[in-house]
Amino acid sequence: MNPELILAFESSCDDTAVAIVDTDYKVLVNLVSSQPQHLEFGGILPELASRLHMSNIMLLTEAALTQANVSLEQISAVAVSINPGLIGSLIVGLSFAKGLAFGRQLPLITVNHLLSHIFANLIDHPELEAPFLALVVSGGHTELVHFKTFIDFEVVGKTLDDAAGETFDKTAKLLGLGFPGGPIIDKLARGGDPEFHIFPRGLKQHDNFNFSYSGLKTSVLTYLSALQPDYIQSNLPSIAASVQAAIIEPLVKKTVRWAAQHQLGSILLAGGVAANSALRSALESAAAAKGIKCFYPSLQLCMDNAAMVGAAAIPKLKAGLFSELDVNAFSLKGTKTI
């Protein structure tokens, strides 16, 4: 059977993204329009993001169809990310997708944003099969998810307070390094000593698979407040490497321990923080030591994009799991988890 085409949208934060993927996980086009307008504010302005999504989404959709040389008649389903995300931004993408689905009488597939990050792995590795354990680490979330099948999954651990990505971002802000902080700390840390200062690791108990980063954030603040600016400047790479090590260690240990205890052969790393070079290599080697394979998406697919939304919609399309047109952007009954 010929693969079907899915038109997918992602607008959960500050990137407007449109993609077309086929049901064999092949990406025909994957466009992202970022919003540099937020840079001067040192973070994302939600209202500005929604308005920019509104002016971008139509043009980007037309560009995606043109670049892929695909007409709307060839599309089999419309996919869009919902919860979690900035509510105004999500509503723009969802309303646009609903309009298209209604106008063209196409099935509407809504995809949890974190779930879509996990399925970015399928684009690079379409041969992957469940069961597997996924570690999703993004700006606002840190979750361990056990997939029994592609559509039957359970959250087995999550952060009790702050997220790993947020800890990278706040640390970079305290160090005056800019936003988003993850990529900056990642690069800087390559030239530093991760044992320069030992920051606390959250929830170290063996049988605890949740994460906590609020203590680490406070500890970074307390540590930096006691130091002279010159000392901080001359030891920036080692300070960055030490904070990074404290963020990564619990992620790696807990993920590999859970997977090993439950005899899982594969770990999928996902989310913006999955771009972190130290996390990738530490998780890969810790998993390999237990005979577990570790997968992570290519760098471009770690960031918010719509191809991953299309990929996550494939199992739902195959299973006929469609959304009604009255679905809302926070349809998971108020939960913030996957």
Q: Catalog residues that contact ligand KG4 under the rule CB under 6 A.
A: 13, 117, 138-140, 165, 168-169, 180-183, 186, 271-273, 275-276, 303-304
Question: Which partner from the list Zn ion, ligand KG4, none does 310 bind, CB cut-off 5 to 8 Å by kind?
Answer: none
Specify the residue, 297 or 315, whose C-beta has the smaller distance to ligand KG4.
297
Question: Which partner from the list ligand KG4, Zn ion, none does 303 bind, CB cut-off 5 to 8 Å by kind?
Answer: ligand KG4
Q: Rounded CA gap, 271 and 269, in Å?
A: 7
Q: How many CB atoms neighbour CB 159 within 10 A?
A: 23
Question: Which partner from the list Zn ion, ligand KG4, none does 168 bind, CB cut-off 5 to 8 Å by kind?
Answer: ligand KG4
Handedness of CA 328, 331, 336, 338 (dihedral sign): negative
Query: DSSP characters for 252-306?
Result: HHHHHHHHHHTT--EEEEESGGGG-HHHHHHHHHHHHHTT-EEE---HHHHSS-S
Q: Rounded CA gap, 52 and 54, in Å?
A: 5
Count residues binding Zn ion (CB under 5 A). 2
Question: Least Å distance between CB 235 and ligand KG4?
Answer: 20
Q: Rounded CA gap, 240 and 177, in Å?
A: 11
Question: Which partner from the list ligand KG4, Zn ion, none does 169 bind, CB cut-off 5 to 8 Å by kind?
Answer: ligand KG4
Q: Rounded CA gap, 315 and 92, in Å?
A: 24
Question: Which partner from the list Zn ion, ligand KG4, none does 276 bind, CB cut-off 5 to 8 Å by kind?
Answer: ligand KG4
Question: Which partner from the list Zn ion, ligand KG4, none does 280 bind, CB cut-off 5 to 8 Å by kind?
Answer: none
The 75-82 sheet, strands edge to edge: 27-33, 16-22, 5-10, 75-82, 108-112
Question: Which partner from the list Zn ion, ligand KG4, none does 275 bind, CB cut-off 5 to 8 Å by kind?
Answer: ligand KG4
- Is residue 305 within the footprint of Zn ion (CB under 5 A)? no
Q: Rounded CA gap, 92 and 42, in Å?
A: 23
Site for Zn ion in 135-154 (CB under 5 A): 138
Specify the residue, 219 or 337, whose C-beta has the smaller distance to Zn ion.
337
Question: Least Å distance between CB 243 and ligand KG4?
Answer: 11
Answer yes or no: are the C-beta atoms of 280 and 296 closer than 8 Å. Answer: yes
Question: Least Å distance between CB 234 and ligand KG4?
Answer: 23
Specify the residue, 21 or 301, whose C-beta has the smaller distance to Zn ion.
301
Specify the residue, 284 or 304, whose C-beta has the smaller distance to Zn ion.
304
The 3-state DSSP class for residue 314 equals helix
Specify the residue, 60 or 185, whose C-beta has the smaller distance to ligand KG4.
185
Site for Zn ion in 174-213 (CB under 5 A): none
Question: Which partner from the list Zn ion, ligand KG4, none does 273 bind, CB cut-off 5 to 8 Å by kind?
Answer: ligand KG4
220, two tokens: 């970074």
Question: Least Å distance between CB 261 and ligand KG4?
Answer: 27
- Please name which of 115, 236, 97, 106 lies closest in space to residue 178, comparing C-alpha atoms: 236
Question: Least Å distance between CB 113 and Zn ion?
Answer: 6
**How distant, in Å, are the alpha carbons of 98, 130, 310 from that of 24?**
24, 16, 11
Question: Least Å distance between CB 317 and Zn ion?
Answer: 22
Amino acid, single-letter form, for residue 174: L
Question: Least Å distance between CB 13 and ligand KG4?
Answer: 6
Q: Which of 304, 309, 315, 338 binds Zn ion (CB under 5 A)?
A: 304
Answer yes or no: are the C-beta atoms of 109 and 78 closer than 8 Å. Answer: yes
Specify the residue, 21 or 270, whose C-beta has the smaller distance to ligand KG4.
270
* Cα within 13 Å of Cα(163), Cβ side: 20
| Residues in touch with Zn ion (CB under 5 A) | 138, 304
